[in-house]
Structure 1
Amino acid sequence: MVIRRGDIVWVDFGIPRGSEPAKVRPSVVVQEDWLLDTNINTVLVVPLTSNTALEGFPGNVLVPAAASGLDRDSVANVAQIGPVTREFVDAYPAGHLAPYLMAQISTGIRLVLGV
């Protein structure tokens, strides 16, 4: 599997638990390419949601369908950033985000992490 930072990938998050991401949903790969090229078995992602009302949450980023390769607008839910095991990531990206959207997502991540 060759994935890069900025790819939109489908991830199987499994059964719903509390407010965590669940089921199969698109996510943005936010891990740096040099780390993706190692043998580390996890990938750092930000889940996407079709609930565009979440755009108003500080740090979240609207991802237009035309920019993502998905069939509808989505929101990058940066507060749910986390690692996923590679075996749960579809090997074929659905799309790739432009640098301006990745910059907005990176800013959102810094906001929620306080760095």
Structure 2
Amino acid sequence: MTRGELWWADLGVPRGSGPGLRRTVVVVSSDDFNGSRLSTIIVAVVTSNTRLAPMPGNVLLPPEVSGLDRASVVNVSQLMTIDRRDLEESIGELPAWAIAEIDAGLAGALGLGVRG
């Protein structure tokens, strides 16, 4: 698995407002991290709730870009560290422009490159 790939993942039983069940995720951890012997991977949850698209940092993915059957949104505020075994099926790889937008969204959500 590589950074920017979309996968179906088993996220288990949802707790509170967190995601759960079988969901689409995008791998956001670095390829160095992904290629290590660690058994975990960092992902951002993807949702079909397009009302979340205008939220800060989120990225709208048209179906022709994601390979999914409808427009979807990468929710940069829902990051998860999951076991690699929870990744069930590869969907495809996002184009460079989408990964760049996700990077910008993650930087904003995590305060990377911002002082104060």
User: Do the two structures share a fold, i.e. TM-score over 0.5?
Assistant: yes
Q: Which runs of 5+ in 1 are unaligned?
A: none
Taking structure 1 as the reference length, the TM-score comes to: 0.94
Name the residue aligned to 1:106. Answer: 103
Q: Which runs of 5+ in 2 are unaligned?
A: none
Name the residue aligned to 2:52. Answer: 54
Q: Quote the RMSD (CA, aligned, Å).
A: 0.8
Taking structure 2 as the reference length, the TM-score comes to: 0.93
Higher strand content, 1 or 2? 2
Q: Taking every aligned residue pair, what percent have the same amino acid on both sides? A: 41
| Paired residues for 1:1-115 under 5 Å | 3-90=1-88, 92-115=89-112
Other structure's SS at 2:33 match? helix
Count, aligned residues: 112
Q: Structure 1 residue 109: deviation in Å?
A: 0.5
Higher helix content, 1 or 2? 1
